[in-house]
Structure 1
């Protein structure tokens, strides 16, 4: 699955197919360290190539190599426990490439810190759009637990920029490579991070507070949906809309012997006020028919909820659209752009 995700990233600049095949051919599956070693080797090669291109004044080539290095570092770190020293070293290398990419982007991006009371500060990347002056529309790309924001630099940034939107990429990993991530994702109030990220964004003088959307990438939990349920500052959201919460409630409802009655909607589903897009793959973790059933429940009360299921024959049908993120993101960012145009003041 991770190899497939990396191959699919090639079309967005997060890898090169030939390099993926080369690294994969060198992996010794009898050696537990071989996976990390080979992907890190490929990442280091691209990072060094990017640094050399910058010294020669070839900024475009430098940026391309740094993005590929990010993709390979992410794959290298995939097998490690977060507390592992090698894991932390790889993360630092990945973040150095991300910082270099942002510094030499046009316009330049920023590495920012966002306060989260009771926890470590969250690190985020802010990327303003090209050719836009004054206050701009913005989309928060929030990584699901375990996912890393660096991926958004090649996976999401282009789609936001081409539609004139700023992008804030954020994850639940702290500002330091060795922060206690496992302790954080176990918090019962994980969704409070969403509000603090919005607080930060609205303090900026280059963001239009009436045109901010949020995208919860991955769809493996409902923490972004819980975060927006009691926060009416978002103009649009792309997430599971509380689908996982509803699925869990229905499971418990049936286990308790109440299958003859319909369970009420969760507080999350009842309180989401902004328009919501639920993108899902036909080959995702929940069957498509199950997603449709839960979606019909969300639509009760005339809620503005859109469901898009990507079919197997069209690709983008796997969990998180790992097989074709480009196809999914084209649809998602078109939907966001249309909603933010409609919410302009």
Structure 2
């Protein structure tokens, strides 16, 4: 069911290709990632100038080309012993490969080739991290394990706090290597970057994305972490990257092992309940929000940060209204809405991820006692 009450369309303020909003938003994401090491502004501008937006293969060819250049440059730097340069080039290649795959279905050979190269870059990057990163598989559904990247905290001689960065349905964990890894590392935290796309190119994902129990993945993730000797099981935080759904909030509502969470905090659940109640006012199945607070928000025990922007998918005033309901129920919840004037105001903060990540990871660090 599509719940659109109170939602807004993303307002870019501009579009590079008015006829292709999807490509314009992706280009804006790439430009925003440049300040995080996921691209360079110059490469993005030059590549965009060569693209025919009416031709998906033109988009694919140009981003694959710049991705290959960065991948090969990284390999050359590794051969010469320049690990930092190698890693920075691989991070950019990951992002460009991801963009190249954007217009294609997961069964398409173009998608498969781009994502396969992207995953190889990620493995090369992890191998050169210090401490070395790991590719791990976490059991979940039968025949469909989760795949994650674990980056240990630097120079840790005792079990370290960890932040789980969970990609929303359809988002890839590889992007998180440039987007959030340094924020965890600089604050002395380990990072587990995980998505729901499984251990392959993601073609099987379409079979499970509609499941009503996606939140069960979180329990398996925590089961894995508490068994690691280098993880402080009492200081596990989770970050839902983008919070385009409620599955992370549902997961933490029924697993009290998280010490802190950055997600929607049950707002989507409350929003959907209000939507249904307004359209079925005489049906006892859909109680009014003031009479039935919502089981997701009610059951969350850990501190929660809700971070969004004025140009996100939900109107800022609607987010504030639902936040007030949660706060009045006695939840330990913090709200941060990034204004258009300060940027980081779009959905998932794609216009300025740096500003959002600084705030988010400072909040996580304070909650974990770092």
Q: Calculate the TM-score normalised by the size of structure 1.
A: 0.97
Aligned to 1:323, the other structure's residue is in SS state coil
Residues 9-61 of structure 1, C-alpha deviation per residue, up to 9 Å, x if partnerless? 01110000000011101101232311111111111110011011101111111
Aligned length in residues? 342
Q: Is the aligned partner of 1:62 residue 2:72?
A: no
- From 317, 320, 331, the equivalent of 2:359 is 331
Matches within 5 A, 1:234-253: 234-253=258-277
Contact 1:66 1:98 in 2 (8 A): yes
Q: Is the aligned partner of 1:341 residue 2:369?
A: yes
Gaps of 5+ in 1: none
Partner of 1:285: 313
- From 11, 23, 28, the equivalent of 1:4 is 28
Q: Is the aligned partner of 1:309 residue 2:333?
A: no
Contact 1:47 1:97 in 2 (8 A): yes
Aligned to 1:174, the other structure's residue is in SS state coil
Residues of 1 paired with 2:208 and 2:314: CA distance? 26
State the 1:117 CA deviation. Answer: 3.0
Gaps of 5+ in 2: 1-24
Contact 2:164 2:191 in 1 (8 A): yes
Q: Is the aligned partner of 1:165 residue 2:189?
A: yes
**Closer, same or farther: CA 260–121 of 1 in aligned 2, 3 Å:** closer
Residues of 2 paired with 1:45 and 1:190: CA distance? 37
Residues of 1 paired with 2:241 and 2:29: CA distance? 14
Partner of 1:134: 158
Partner of 2:17: none
- From 103, 108, 114, the equivalent of 2:138 is 114
State the 1:179 CA deviation. Answer: 3.8
**Closer, same or farther: CA 204–260 of 1 in aligned 2, 3 Å:** closer
Partner of 1:32: 56
Contact 1:142 1:170 in 2 (8 A): yes
Partner of 1:183: 207
Q: Which has the higher contact order (CA 8 A, sep 6+)?
A: 2
Partner of 1:257: 281
Residues of 1 paired with 2:316 and 2:66: CA distance? 37
Contact 2:274 2:288 in 1 (8 A): no
Q: Is the aligned partner of 1:156 residue 2:180?
A: yes
State the 1:88 CA deviation. Answer: 1.2
- What's the Cα RMSD here? 1.3
Residues of 1 paired with 2:138 and 2:147: CA distance? 6
- From 275, 299, 303, the equivalent of 2:303 is 275
Contact 1:77 1:90 in 2 (8 A): yes
Contact 2:277 2:288 in 1 (8 A): no
**Closer, same or farther: CA 117–260 of 1 in aligned 2, 3 Å:** closer
**Closer, same or farther: CA 257–74 of 1 in aligned 2, 3 Å:** same
Residues of 2 paired with 1:152 and 1:55: CA distance? 26
Contact 1:253 1:263 in 2 (8 A): no
State the 1:178 CA deviation. Answer: 4.7
Partner of 2:4: none
